[in-house]
Amino acid sequence: MKITREQVEHVARLARLELSDAEKELFTGQLDGILAYVDKLNELDTSGIVPTAHAVPMENAFREDVVTASLGVERALANAPDRSESFFRVPKVIE
């Protein structure tokens, strides 16, 4: 086994996903199969190979720090599931 149900539960917590028991069962099997497949990368010797993070070589893209128009409070809040005055409202953090 490449991955256990306990590891799946740990990863789900990291990813903030409240998986059902059925999903945990399904994903444990499917992720195990996929991880066994990606193991084929270990056939290749990659010592001394530089990792590619971006397809095109790029450096920081700088620009002048100038003031431009912004979205504004009403438009920024237009899709809020819940709001209070000019804030996003969420359930209580502390019990």
18 binds other proteins (CB under 8 A): yes
DSSP string, 73-85: HHHHHTT-SSEET
Q: Taking a C-beta distance cutoff of 8 angstroms, is the pair 19, 27 a contact?
A: yes
Binding track, positions 24-63, relative to other proteins; x by CB under 8 A:
--xx--xx-xxx-xx-xxxxx-x--xxxxxxxx-x--x-x
Cα(11)–Cα(38) distance, integer angstroms: 18
Q: Which residues contact other proteins by CB under 8 A?
A: 3, 7-8, 11-12, 14-20, 23, 26-27, 30-31, 33-35, 37-38, 40-44, 46, 49-56, 58, 61, 63, 71, 75-76, 78-82, 88, 90-93, 95
